[in-house]
Amino acid sequence: MQLPSGAQTWLSCGYDNAWTLQEYLMAHMVDALRAANWQRAGNDKAPPPEPVRRPSDIREAGATNERRREQALLQARRRAHQLNPEGA
């Protein structure tokens, strides 16, 4: 917990401390610039810009993908058991 912001350990774990203050400020600036350009474009049908993904967003996406894989594996095992209940 005493690692500095931007340490490789934080980055590999996907925590918000993976970025330094400067990186967060830059991401907020990019988000604001994208939103301003989108507003000025005048295209009402264009979707709003996606924000820069933060480390916690990436970690949550990975956890969601892991849950999907686990659910698919469980469903496959259930189907296999239904097809061959004695062999499972």
Instruction: Report DSSP letters for 50-74, one per residue.
Output: PPPPPHHHHHHHHHHHHHHHHHHHH
Length of the chain: 88
48: which residues sit within 8 A by CB, 6+ positions away? 35, 38
pTM of the model: 0.55
Domain ranges for the chain, please list them. Answer: 8-41+52-83
pLDDT tens for the chain, 88 residues long, are: 676 666 767 666 656 667 778 888 999 999 999 999 999 998 889 999 999 988 777 666 656 666 777 777 777 777 777 777 665 4
Alpha helices in the chain (DSSP H): 8-13, 21-41, 55-83
